[in-house]
Amino acid sequence: MGNNKKLSMASSVMWNTCGSTFYLACQWLMTVLVVRLSGLHAGGILTLAISVTNIWYAISVYGMRNYQVSDVKNKYSSGTYFYSRIITIGLSLIGCIVYILVIPYSVEQRACIITYFIVKAVEATFDCFSGMFQKNWRLDIAGKSMLIRGAITLLSFSVVLYITQNMFLTLIVVAVLTALAIIVYDLPRVRDLESLKFDFKSKVVIELLIECLPLVIYSSLSTSIASIPRLYMERIMGNDILAIYGAVATPVLIIQVGATYIFNPFVTLFAEKYNNDDIKGFLKILAKCIVAVCIISVIGLIGGALVGKWGLNLLYGSTVASHVDLLMPLIICTIITAVSWLFCGVLTVIRGFKGLVISNLAAVLTSLALSPILEKSMGMQGASLTLALATIIEIIILVADMFIILNKKSNR
């Protein structure tokens, strides 16, 4: 462990934001290019693979990132976090395989889902490494890693899909190259900062997994809130309709993920304020995060209103652009989801695990109940309305639980 030079918070956040934004843009461009290069069928396959694997990705990361970076007292070592991640990825792989064998998907759909899971497994590994970089205030490394993997992902996806017109082969190449990037770039730099040594006879990993069990339950539920309406859509309306909905929805995700990138670097500060009983300082940081989310949201709404149809036509063509009416409701859904992610992160820091599980369970039950009803009566707009209503219920419970915990903390 040689190079543990810390960067300033501003520099660290800047690198992370640049890398995250670029990586997000590359992921988004994949969903644009797939329709341009190979048509709506391929777009539907990719959207389905993303929707299914997002649920199992939540199990892979185990909801542990905010817990890891807010572990300011180093209750668990970096090696413990790393080896727990290997276990959770393995468990989620088994779950994903069982799922796709039970659900009546085609051979092509199954092959692409499991291959895209490997891509997400690489992301889950990076998520753990990124937590180590963040605790050392070296998010510049994480940012550079995302720049590298974003470029590799977009380039390999575009070239291989264009040449082969085969989504399965394309995803295999993407998975192999991104895994190599993690091994060559990230792993040596992690070892410079942290020790990944672990005593396999120790039960500490099991203790960590048990302690964070509520987090994986919450994160799996949280991912399902948005995935359930899309999975119903594929069953009710078909693959091509799902492709159209996914195409319109993907550009607006920059609002949601952008808000997350703003919040994530502050998690360690939230933990320090909370552990030092500085509730006023805690709330000041939260207020700044909310303001930042609001600014991003306003920009997103204005952008959608001004250039929405033109942008969709430029990116996807007239078929997708004719569904521009989906755009503003999806932007609103994205804003609401960004707010929910913010408060989920806050409750993780203050260890409000019960509130996390209850709020997300309520949202999932709402999504399950409303998806078939609203989608049959309202079509694709029904999916957006379902997501919005479910997430609003989640936020109400999250905020109430947060203030209960903070009030108890301040009255001690």
> Residue 35 has what pLDDT?
83
Q: Are residues 283 and 149 part of one domain?
A: no
- Cβ distance 293 to 262 under 8 Å? yes
Q: What are the residue ranges of helices labelled H in 182-317? A: 187-193, 204-211, 213-237, 239-263, 267-275, 279-316
Residue 161 lies in a domain: yes
- Cβ distance 308 to 328 under 8 Å? yes
Q: Are residues 332 and 196 part of one domain?
A: no
CA angle 111, 26, 381 (to 5 degrees): 75
Residue 19 lies in a domain: yes
Q: Are residues 180 and 38 part of one domain?
A: yes
Q: Are residues 263 and 206 part of one domain?
A: no
> Residue 269 has what pLDDT?
81
Look at residues 161, 183, 211 and tell me which one is the last residue of a structural domain.
211
Q: Are residues 273 and 174 part of one domain?
A: no
Distance CA 70, CA 116 (A): 30
Residue 115 lies in a domain: yes
Residue 140 lies in a domain: yes
Residue 231 lies in a domain: no
Contacts of 142 (CB under 8 A, 6+ apart): 15, 16, 19, 126, 129, 130, 133, 134
Burial status of residue 282 (CB atoms within 10 A of its CB: 0-12, 13-18, 19 or more): buried
> Residue 113 has what pLDDT?
96
Q: Are residues 264 and 201 part of one domain?
A: no
Residue 228 lies in a domain: no
- Cβ distance 57 to 182 under 8 Å? no
Distance CA 412, CA 408 (A): 6
Q: Are residues 78 and 177 part of one domain?
A: yes
How many separate domains does the chain show?
Answer: 2
Q: Are residues 361 and 279 part of one domain?
A: yes
- Cβ distance 50 to 62 under 8 Å? no
Residue 295 lies in a domain: yes
Q: Which domain holds residue 283?
A: 252-412
> Residue 395 has what pLDDT?
97
Residue 234 lies in a domain: no
Look at residues 211, 242, 276 and tell me which one is the last residue of a structural domain.
211
Q: Are residues 280 and 188 part of one domain?
A: no
Residue by residue, DSSP assigns 44-83 as HHHHHHHHHHHHHHHHHHTT-HHHHHT-TT-SS-HHHHHH
> Residue 4 has what pLDDT?
52
Look at residues 211, 240, 274 and tell me which one is the last residue of a structural domain.
211
Q: Are residues 383 and 264 part of one domain?
A: yes
Q: What is the pTM assigned to this prediction? A: 0.77
Coil vs helix vs strand at 212: coil
> Residue 2 has what pLDDT?
45
Contacts of 211 (CB under 8 A, 6+ apart): none
Distance CA 303, CA 220 (A): 31
Q: What is the pLDDT along the chain (412 residues), one digit of tens a residue?
A: 445 555 666 677 788 888 988 998 898 889 888 988 988 889 889 988 998 898 899 889 998 988 898 887 888 989 999 999 999 999 999 999 999 999 989 999 999 999 999 999 999 999 999 999 988 888 899 999 999 999 999 999 999 999 999 999 999 999 999 999 999 999 999 999 988 876 566 789 999 999 999 988 888 888 889 889 998 998 889 888 988 898 888 778 777 777 776 677 777 788 888 988 899 999 999 998 899 888 888 988 999 999 989 988 888 888 889 999 999 999 999 999 989 988 998 998 898 999 999 999 999 999 999 999 999 999 999 999 999 999 999 999 999 999 999 999 887 7
